[in-house]
């Protein structure tokens, strides 16, 4: 069972904010269903939107109310971090049980605090720039796995902005920021090839810089461009002049950030395993409140799943995804070559789908996944191989050759998307046990219950505490330790671990 290194002292992980105390723990037998699915799955708020809106609400000139926000480990860590910096945050639920968060910004941010980032990229890359606007030192640390994630882009940028930063020279957590209450801003260059979050974190706080910010990415490819679009869109929606100058340069003018009432969209990337389940099992999955226009990369699932037999129709109430003949009914779907540079977040779940197809597939453009919650390329290669596929790790992706599959203990490496990928594999593979389904609490605490409910199976039957003996003896692939290079700009994709 995963033990969370969670040190937020204002609330417990499943307690005060309405988390589900029945969340499955320990080894979990991936459930199967006898026939096609017919389910409506209500997906909680977007992690990326919730954490952007929390940051902007903290920096705003007036209070903000967030409706439909996500309450999961990543967003609770964000709330806790901002509270420590002096932001007043109240969490309630409306009469339908939908979370409502009221955020009142402080007159000035307080320093002399420690921030726990957990494993949340949005906390470790978005909060430091807010902390640089505080008076006094702010120290950042996180889970063991978080200490392997690239941070050089953020630290490099803060130093270029004249902020004093102390770290051990590896460009990783832990580090301390010594804010002086203001940032002048201006023009800076960073290498954001390891994560788009370096760019987003700076742009979000930039309206509060005296001269705003012109930010240029200088490195190789820039991943997850839609997430930068999302950052610009959230800024503009609050009255900030934020724009793309060219494909590597962005400009944010200084000025007040509006508060107000904001509705958070469902997390479309978290819809991925449920929509993929329709492709695997056949039938229909409906996702209510799917937005008709959005910057979320999960919206690309509508096109991405079409070649796999998914007919997706969108109206103003829901996305309906119907699959006439699923893999479980004998559909022989050929593999695919996908460049997921912009949609890396979807790669683990799509890799699981490709492993269930007929014929080889290649995923490219995702070298930066080595710096995600775990080295996702190594983790997917290890786990898909364990189930019986032939998988080759490429410099920037994976080559997957499906094969007859066998029972296995699927390891998650604390990665929520590895956990949901294990659940997908288990839909049509007998004997898949996911070692740590609880790590889905990073962005979707009720995943196990939602999955069982979609399949019409009893959730209690999947909570398997007796791992079969033969599984215990599988080797766990070793994760390499981070580079000891003293430069803070060693965040090139592939160098991340
Ligand atoms: O800004 C964001 O909310 C995110 C940006 C992306 O990060 P990377 O650019 O590091 O892939 C994405 O993968 C992550 O899940 C969320
Ligand atoms: C990469 C991810 O998360 P994070 O925001 O922690 O980077 C993810 O959710 O797939």
CATH of the domain at 323: 3.65.10.10
180 CA to centre of ligand 2 in angstroms: 30
Q: Is residue 8 part of a domain?
A: no
Per the CB < 8 A criterion, the answer to whether 310 and 279 are in contact is yes
Q: Is residue 486 part of a domain?
A: no
**370 in contact with ligand 2, CB cutoff 6 A:** no
**345 in contact with ligand 2, CB cutoff 6 A:** yes
Could you tell me if 204 and 148 lie in one domain? yes
Could you tell me if 362 and 465 lie in one domain? yes
345 is catalytic: yes
Q: Could you tell which of 148, 227, 232 is best to mutate to test the pocket of ligand 1, judged by most ligand atoms within 8 Å of the CB?
A: 227
ipTM exceeds 0.85, yes or no: yes
Q: What tokens does 438 get?
A: 């609880």
Q: Could you tell which of 121, 173, 439, 443 is best to mutate to test the pocket of ligand 2, judged by most ligand atoms within 8 Å of the CB?
A: 121
Residue that terminates a domain, selected from 237, 263, 289: 263
What string of pLDDT tens digits covers the 497 residues of the chain? 222 222 233 333 322 233 333 445 679 999 999 899 999 999 999 999 999 999 999 999 999 999 999 999 999 999 999 999 999 999 999 898 999 999 999 999 999 999 999 999 999 999 999 999 999 999 999 999 999 999 999 999 999 999 999 999 999 999 999 999 999 999 999 999 999 999 999 999 999 999 999 999 998 999 999 999 999 999 999 999 999 999 999 999 999 999 999 999 999 999 999 999 999 999 999 999 999 999 999 999 999 999 999 999 999 899 999 999 999 999 999 999 999 999 999 999 999 999 999 999 999 999 999 999 999 999 999 999 999 999 999 999 999 999 999 999 999 999 999 999 999 999 999 999 999 999 999 999 999 999 999 999 999 888 765 554 445 444 444 444 433 333 344 444 433 33
Could you tell me if 219 and 276 lie in one domain? no
The domain total for the chain is 2
Mention every residue, 6+ apart, whose C-beta is less than 8 A from residue 25: 1, 437, 438, 463
496 CA to centre of ligand 2 in angstroms: 14
Ligand in closest contact with the CA of 231: 1
Ligand in closest contact with the CA of 373: 2
Could you tell me if 96 and 184 lie in one domain? yes
**302 in contact with ligand 1, CB cutoff 6 A:** no
Q: Is residue 419 part of a domain?
A: yes
32 is in an annotated binding site: no
371 CA to centre of ligand 1 in angstroms: 11
Instruction: Tell me the DSSP string of 70-128.
Output: --SHHHHHHHHHHHHTT-EEEEEE-TTS-EEEEEE--SS-B-SEEEE-TT-HHHHHHHH
Phi, psi at 122, each rounded to 5°: -65, -30
Could you tell me if 308 and 289 lie in one domain? yes
Could you tell me if 234 and 155 lie in one domain? yes
316: containing domain: 28-44+267-472
Mention every residue, 6+ apart, whose C-beta is less than 8 A from residue 453: 39, 459
Q: Is residue 488 part of a domain?
A: no
Residue 334: CB atoms within 10 A of its CB come to 12
122 CA to centre of ligand 1 in angstroms: 8
Could you tell me if 57 and 186 lie in one domain? yes
**122 in contact with ligand 2, CB cutoff 6 A:** yes
Q: Is residue 2 part of a domain?
A: no
Catalytic option among 53, 265, 341, 345: 345
Q: Is residue 4 part of a domain?
A: no
84 is in an annotated binding site: no
332 CA to centre of ligand 1 in angstroms: 33
**196 in contact with ligand 2, CB cutoff 6 A:** no
Residue that terminates a domain, selected from 263, 278, 304: 263
**420 in contact with ligand 1, CB cutoff 6 A:** no
Could you tell me if 322 and 376 lie in one domain? yes
**179 in contact with ligand 2, CB cutoff 6 A:** no
Q: Is residue 455 part of a domain?
A: yes
121 is in an annotated binding site: yes
Could you tell me if 37 and 66 lie in one domain? no
Could you tell me if 374 and 389 lie in one domain? yes
Q: Is residue 403 part of a domain?
A: yes
Q: How far is CA 416 from CA 166, 229, 434, 440, in A?
A: 31, 24, 11, 4
The atom of ligand 2 lying closest to the CA of 417 is 10
Per the CB < 8 A criterion, the answer to whether 122 and 92 are in contact is no
Could you tell me if 285 and 317 lie in one domain? yes
Residue that terminates a domain, selected from 263, 283, 301: 263
Could you tell me if 256 and 154 lie in one domain? yes
Q: Which residues pair with 285 in a beta bridge?
A: 39, 321
């Amino acid at each position: 069972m995963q033990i969370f290194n969670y040190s937020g002292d204002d609330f417990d992980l499943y307690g005060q904010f309405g988390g589900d105390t029945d969340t499955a723990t320990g080894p979990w037998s991936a459930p199967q269903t006898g026939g096609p699915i017919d389910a409506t799955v209500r997906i909680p708020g977007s992690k990326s939107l919730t954490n952007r809106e929390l940051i902007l609400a903290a920096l705003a000139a007036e209070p903000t109310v967030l409706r439909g926000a996500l309450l999961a480990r990543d967003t609770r860590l964000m709330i806790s971090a901002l509270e420590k910096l002096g932001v007043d945050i109240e969490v309630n639920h409306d009469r339908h049980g939908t979370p409502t968060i009221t955020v009142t910004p402080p007159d000035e941010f307080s320093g002399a605090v420690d921030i726990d980032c957990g494993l949340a990229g949005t906390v470790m890359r978005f909060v430091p720039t807010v902390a640089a606007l505080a008076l006094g030192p702010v120290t950042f640390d996180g889970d063991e796995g978080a200490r392997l994630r690239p941070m050089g882009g953020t630290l490099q940028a803060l130093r270029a902005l004249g902020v004093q930063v102390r770290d051990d020279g590896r460009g990783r957590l832990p580090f301390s920021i010594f804010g002086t209450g203001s940032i002048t801003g201006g023009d800076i260059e960073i290498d954001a090839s390891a994560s788009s979050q370096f760019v987003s974190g700076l742009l979000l706080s930039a309206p509060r810089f005296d001269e705003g910010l012109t930010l240029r990415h200088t490195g190789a490819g820039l991943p997850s461009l839609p997430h930068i679009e999302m950052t610009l869109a959230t800024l503009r929606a609050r009255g900030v002049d934020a724009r793309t100058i060219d494909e590597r340069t962005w400009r944010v003018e200084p000025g007040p950030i509006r508060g107000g009432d904001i509705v958070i969209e469902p997390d479309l990337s978290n819809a991925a395993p449920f929509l993929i389940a329709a492709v695997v099992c056949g039938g229909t999955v409906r996702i209510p409140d799917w937005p008709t226009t959005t910057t979320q990369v999960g919206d690309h699932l509508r096109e991405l799943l079409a070649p796999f037999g998914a007919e997706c129709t969108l109206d103003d109430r829901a996305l309906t995804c119907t699959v006439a003949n699923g893999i479980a009914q004998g559909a022989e779907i050929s593999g695919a070559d996908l460049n997921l540079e912009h949609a890396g977040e979807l790669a683990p779940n799509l890799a699981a789908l490709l492993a269930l197809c007929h014929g080889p597939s290649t995923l490219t453009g995702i070298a930066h996944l080595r710096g995600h919650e775990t080295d996702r390329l190594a983790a997917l290669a290890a786990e898909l191989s364990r189930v019986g596929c032939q998988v080759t790790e490429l410099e920037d992706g994976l080559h997957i050759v499906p094969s007859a599959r066998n029972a296995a203990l699927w390891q998650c490496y604390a990665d929520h998307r590895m956990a949901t990928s294990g659940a997908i594999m288990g839909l049509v593979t007998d004997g898949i046990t996911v070692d740590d389904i609880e790590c889905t609490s990073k962005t979707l605490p009720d995943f196990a219950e939602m999955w069982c409910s979609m399949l019409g199976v009893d959730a209690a039957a999947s909570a398997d505490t007796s791992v079969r003996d033969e599984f215990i003896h599988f080797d766990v692939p070793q994760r390499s330790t981070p580079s000891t290079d003293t430069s803070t700009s060693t965040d090139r994709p592939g160098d991340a671990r």
